Copies of this chain bind each other. A is one copy, B any other.
Amino acid sequence: MTMNSRQRFLGTTQQHAYVHLREMILSGVYTGGQKVNPAKVAEELGVSRMPVREALRQLDSEGLVTIRPNRGAVVTALTAADVLEIFDMRAVLEGLAVRCALPLLTGEDIEELEDRRRRMDRVRAESKRWISRHDEFHDFLCVQSGRPRLTAEIARLRASVQPYLQMYIASHPSPEMTGFEHDGLMELVRERDEARAEEFMREHIMSAAHGVIEYLEHLENERDVGAAMPAAGSTAEAA
Protein backbone atom coordinates (compact mmCIF):
# COMPACT_ATOMS: atom_id res chain seq x y z
CA MET A 1 0.00 0.00 0.00
CA THR A 2 2.59 2.54 1.08
CA MET A 3 4.55 0.80 -1.63
CA ASN A 4 7.36 3.05 -2.56
CA SER A 5 6.33 4.99 -5.65
CA ARG A 6 9.99 5.66 -6.40
CA GLN A 7 10.22 2.31 -8.18
CA ARG A 8 7.87 3.26 -10.97
CA PHE A 9 9.30 6.74 -11.35
CA LEU A 10 11.72 7.38 -14.19
CA GLY A 11 14.41 9.97 -13.71
CA THR A 12 16.32 11.10 -10.66
CA THR A 13 15.00 10.86 -7.13
CA GLN A 14 15.28 14.62 -6.86
CA GLN A 15 12.91 15.05 -9.79
CA HIS A 16 10.52 12.63 -8.17
CA ALA A 17 10.51 14.63 -4.96
CA TYR A 18 10.13 17.86 -6.91
CA VAL A 19 7.15 16.66 -8.89
CA HIS A 20 5.52 15.22 -5.79
CA LEU A 21 5.89 18.35 -3.68
CA ARG A 22 4.81 20.57 -6.54
CA GLU A 23 1.65 18.55 -7.07
CA MET A 24 0.88 18.62 -3.38
CA ILE A 25 1.20 22.38 -3.27
CA LEU A 26 -0.62 23.16 -6.52
CA SER A 27 -3.48 20.84 -5.75
CA GLY A 28 -3.91 22.46 -2.37
CA VAL A 29 -3.06 19.45 -0.21
CA TYR A 30 -0.25 21.48 1.32
CA THR A 31 -1.86 24.80 2.10
CA GLY A 32 -0.19 28.20 2.38
CA GLY A 33 1.83 28.84 5.53
CA GLN A 34 2.15 25.15 6.34
CA LYS A 35 5.54 23.85 7.42
CA VAL A 36 7.11 21.14 5.30
CA ASN A 37 8.89 18.40 7.21
CA PRO A 38 11.57 17.04 4.88
CA ALA A 39 12.07 13.88 6.95
CA LYS A 40 8.37 12.98 6.70
CA VAL A 41 8.20 13.68 2.99
CA ALA A 42 11.36 11.65 2.46
CA GLU A 43 9.89 8.70 4.32
CA GLU A 44 6.61 8.91 2.41
CA LEU A 45 8.49 8.74 -0.86
CA GLY A 46 10.89 6.09 0.40
CA VAL A 47 13.96 8.26 -0.23
CA SER A 48 16.45 10.14 1.89
CA ARG A 49 16.12 13.75 2.97
CA MET A 50 18.73 14.94 0.51
CA PRO A 51 16.77 14.91 -2.74
CA VAL A 52 13.81 16.39 -0.88
CA ARG A 53 16.00 19.24 0.26
CA GLU A 54 17.12 19.95 -3.28
CA ALA A 55 13.56 19.85 -4.51
CA LEU A 56 12.60 22.34 -1.82
CA ARG A 57 15.47 24.61 -2.81
CA GLN A 58 14.18 24.58 -6.37
CA LEU A 59 10.59 25.23 -5.29
CA ASP A 60 11.90 28.12 -3.23
CA SER A 61 13.47 29.69 -6.32
CA GLU A 62 10.17 29.29 -8.09
CA GLY A 63 8.32 30.94 -5.24
CA LEU A 64 6.17 27.99 -4.20
CA VAL A 65 7.91 27.52 -0.85
CA THR A 66 9.99 29.80 1.32
CA ILE A 67 13.13 28.52 3.00
CA ARG A 68 14.49 30.37 5.98
CA PRO A 69 18.01 29.32 7.01
CA ASN A 70 17.98 26.86 9.90
CA ARG A 71 14.23 27.23 10.23
CA GLY A 72 12.90 25.01 7.54
CA ALA A 73 10.58 25.44 4.60
CA VAL A 74 7.00 26.65 4.57
CA VAL A 75 4.55 26.64 1.70
CA THR A 76 4.47 30.21 0.45
CA ALA A 77 1.31 31.99 1.56
CA LEU A 78 0.25 34.74 -0.81
CA THR A 79 -1.66 37.81 0.27
CA ALA A 80 -4.20 39.53 -1.95
CA ALA A 81 -1.48 42.09 -2.73
CA ASP A 82 0.89 39.31 -3.82
CA VAL A 83 -1.74 37.80 -6.07
CA LEU A 84 -2.44 41.17 -7.63
CA GLU A 85 1.27 41.63 -8.25
CA ILE A 86 1.53 38.26 -9.92
CA PHE A 87 -1.50 38.82 -12.14
CA ASP A 88 -0.15 42.22 -13.14
CA MET A 89 3.12 40.64 -14.17
CA ARG A 90 1.36 37.91 -16.08
CA ALA A 91 -0.82 40.46 -17.83
CA VAL A 92 2.07 42.44 -19.31
CA LEU A 93 4.08 39.32 -20.11
CA GLU A 94 1.20 37.58 -21.83
CA GLY A 95 0.49 40.82 -23.67
CA LEU A 96 4.05 40.61 -24.92
CA ALA A 97 3.50 36.97 -25.86
CA VAL A 98 0.51 37.71 -28.11
CA ARG A 99 2.30 40.61 -29.70
CA CYS A 100 5.24 38.34 -30.55
CA ALA A 101 3.02 35.47 -31.64
CA LEU A 102 0.77 37.49 -33.98
CA PRO A 103 3.16 37.90 -36.92
CA LEU A 104 4.26 34.26 -36.61
CA LEU A 105 0.80 32.69 -36.62
CA THR A 106 -0.09 30.73 -39.73
CA GLY A 107 -3.67 30.32 -40.89
CA GLU A 108 -3.50 26.80 -39.52
CA ASP A 109 -2.42 28.05 -36.11
CA ILE A 110 -5.37 30.42 -36.01
CA GLU A 111 -7.70 27.54 -36.87
CA GLU A 112 -6.21 25.48 -34.06
CA LEU A 113 -6.62 28.40 -31.68
CA GLU A 114 -10.25 28.83 -32.72
CA ASP A 115 -10.72 25.09 -32.15
CA ARG A 116 -9.42 25.35 -28.63
CA ARG A 117 -11.65 28.31 -27.93
CA ARG A 118 -14.65 26.24 -28.99
CA ARG A 119 -13.56 23.25 -26.91
CA MET A 120 -13.31 25.61 -23.97
CA ASP A 121 -16.72 27.10 -24.51
CA ARG A 122 -18.25 23.66 -24.74
CA VAL A 123 -17.54 22.95 -21.06
CA ARG A 124 -18.44 26.41 -19.80
CA ALA A 125 -20.54 24.95 -17.03
CA GLU A 126 -17.87 22.68 -15.49
CA SER A 127 -15.47 25.10 -13.87
CA LYS A 128 -12.57 22.66 -13.35
CA ARG A 129 -12.47 21.47 -16.92
CA TRP A 130 -13.06 24.97 -18.22
CA ILE A 131 -10.04 26.29 -16.26
CA SER A 132 -7.91 23.52 -17.63
CA ARG A 133 -8.89 24.19 -21.24
CA HIS A 134 -8.62 27.90 -20.69
CA ASP A 135 -5.01 27.43 -19.58
CA GLU A 136 -4.34 25.34 -22.66
CA PHE A 137 -5.76 28.04 -24.89
CA HIS A 138 -3.47 30.64 -23.36
CA ASP A 139 -0.51 28.32 -23.34
CA PHE A 140 -0.89 27.54 -27.02
CA LEU A 141 -0.75 31.22 -27.84
CA CYS A 142 2.36 31.65 -25.67
CA VAL A 143 4.16 28.78 -27.34
CA GLN A 144 3.46 30.30 -30.76
CA SER A 145 5.41 33.38 -29.73
CA GLY A 146 8.57 31.33 -30.18
CA ARG A 147 9.78 32.58 -26.81
CA PRO A 148 10.48 29.63 -24.52
CA ARG A 149 11.64 31.69 -21.55
CA LEU A 150 8.63 33.95 -21.76
CA THR A 151 6.33 30.95 -22.02
CA ALA A 152 7.95 29.27 -19.02
CA GLU A 153 7.80 32.39 -16.91
CA ILE A 154 4.11 32.88 -17.65
CA ALA A 155 3.43 29.25 -16.79
CA ARG A 156 5.33 29.69 -13.52
CA LEU A 157 3.29 32.74 -12.58
CA ARG A 158 0.08 30.98 -13.47
CA ALA A 159 1.03 27.99 -11.34
CA SER A 160 1.89 30.06 -8.31
CA VAL A 161 -1.62 31.46 -8.00
CA GLN A 162 -3.37 28.22 -8.95
CA PRO A 163 -4.30 27.14 -5.41
CA TYR A 164 -5.93 30.51 -4.76
CA LEU A 165 -7.81 30.36 -8.04
CA GLN A 166 -9.15 26.96 -7.05
CA MET A 167 -10.23 28.23 -3.65
CA TYR A 168 -12.05 31.07 -5.33
CA ILE A 169 -13.77 28.79 -7.80
CA ALA A 170 -14.74 26.38 -5.06
CA SER A 171 -16.42 29.11 -3.07
CA HIS A 172 -18.27 30.46 -6.11
CA PRO A 173 -20.16 27.47 -7.48
CA SER A 174 -20.68 27.73 -11.23
CA PRO A 175 -19.87 31.40 -11.78
CA GLU A 176 -20.77 31.03 -15.47
CA MET A 177 -17.37 31.62 -17.01
CA THR A 178 -16.95 34.69 -19.14
CA GLY A 179 -15.92 33.04 -22.35
CA PHE A 180 -17.13 35.80 -24.63
CA GLU A 181 -13.98 37.86 -24.11
CA HIS A 182 -12.05 35.37 -26.17
CA ASP A 183 -14.17 36.17 -29.20
CA GLY A 184 -12.85 39.69 -29.07
CA LEU A 185 -9.32 38.40 -28.83
CA MET A 186 -9.77 36.04 -31.78
CA GLU A 187 -11.04 38.92 -33.87
CA LEU A 188 -7.93 41.02 -33.14
CA VAL A 189 -5.76 38.00 -33.85
CA ARG A 190 -7.32 37.55 -37.27
CA GLU A 191 -6.86 41.24 -38.00
CA ARG A 192 -3.22 40.88 -36.88
CA ASP A 193 -3.60 43.98 -34.78
CA GLU A 194 -0.60 43.65 -32.50
CA ALA A 195 -1.11 46.76 -30.40
CA ARG A 196 -4.78 46.18 -29.70
CA ALA A 197 -4.32 42.43 -29.14
CA GLU A 198 -1.65 43.16 -26.54
CA GLU A 199 -3.87 45.67 -24.80
CA PHE A 200 -6.83 43.33 -24.97
CA MET A 201 -4.86 40.46 -23.45
CA ARG A 202 -3.78 42.62 -20.56
CA GLU A 203 -7.31 43.67 -19.79
CA HIS A 204 -8.59 40.15 -20.21
CA ILE A 205 -6.16 38.78 -17.64
CA MET A 206 -6.76 41.56 -15.15
CA SER A 207 -10.50 41.16 -15.42
CA ALA A 208 -10.05 37.51 -14.51
CA ALA A 209 -7.84 38.59 -11.62
CA HIS A 210 -10.35 40.88 -9.96
CA GLY A 211 -12.65 38.15 -8.75
CA VAL A 212 -9.86 36.23 -7.06
CA ILE A 213 -8.33 39.31 -5.51
CA GLU A 214 -11.59 40.61 -4.09
CA TYR A 215 -12.27 37.18 -2.68
CA LEU A 216 -8.87 37.09 -0.97
CA GLU A 217 -9.27 40.62 0.38
CA HIS A 218 -12.60 39.59 1.80
CA LEU A 219 -10.97 36.60 3.53
CA GLU A 220 -8.17 38.76 4.92
CA ASN A 221 -10.60 41.29 6.34
CA GLU A 222 -12.60 38.58 8.03
CA ARG A 223 -9.46 37.08 9.50
CA ASP A 224 -8.16 40.49 10.61
CA VAL A 225 -11.22 41.56 12.55
CA GLY A 226 -11.29 38.10 14.09
CA ALA A 227 -7.63 38.30 15.11
CA ALA A 228 -7.62 41.96 16.13
CA MET A 229 -10.11 41.53 18.97
CA PRO A 230 -10.18 37.92 20.01
CA ALA A 231 -10.92 39.03 23.59
CA ALA A 232 -14.13 40.81 22.64
CA GLY A 233 -16.25 37.68 22.80
CA SER A 234 -14.61 36.17 25.86
CA THR A 235 -14.68 39.48 27.69
CA ALA A 236 -18.40 39.66 27.15
CA GLU A 237 -18.66 36.10 28.37
CA ALA A 238 -16.70 36.88 31.49
CA ALA A 239 -18.71 40.00 32.20
Enumerate chain A interface residues (CB-CB to B < 8 A).
11-12, 15, 50, 53-54, 57-58, 60-63, 69-70, 82, 85-86, 88-89, 92-93, 95-96, 100, 147-150, 153
Q: Point out the residues of chain B lying under 8 angstroms from A53, CB to CB.
A: 54
Contact B15 A85 (CB under 8 A): no
Q: Is the CB of A153 within 8 A of B70?
A: no
With contacts A54-B53, A54-B57, A62-B61 known, is A150 near B100, CB below 8 A? no
Interface centre among A15, A88, A153 (most CB of B within 10 A): A88
Known contacts being A61-B61, A89-B96, A93-B93, is A69 close to B150, with CB within 8 Å? no
Chain B residues closer than 8 Å to A12, beta-carbon distance: 69-70
List 18 extra interface pairs beyond A12-B70, A61-B61, A88-B150, CB under 8 A: A11-B69, A12-B69, A50-B50, A54-B54, A54-B57, A57-B57, A58-B58, A58-B60, A61-B62, A85-B147, A85-B150, A86-B149, A88-B96, A88-B100, A89-B149, A89-B153, A92-B95, A93-B93
Question: Contact between B95 and A63 (Cβ–Cβ < 8 Å)?
Answer: no
18 interchain pairs, CB-CB under 8 A: A50-B50, A54-B54, A57-B58, A57-B61, A58-B58, A58-B60, A61-B62, A63-B149, A82-B149, A85-B148, A86-B149, A88-B96, A89-B93, A89-B96, A89-B149, A89-B153, A92-B93, A92-B95
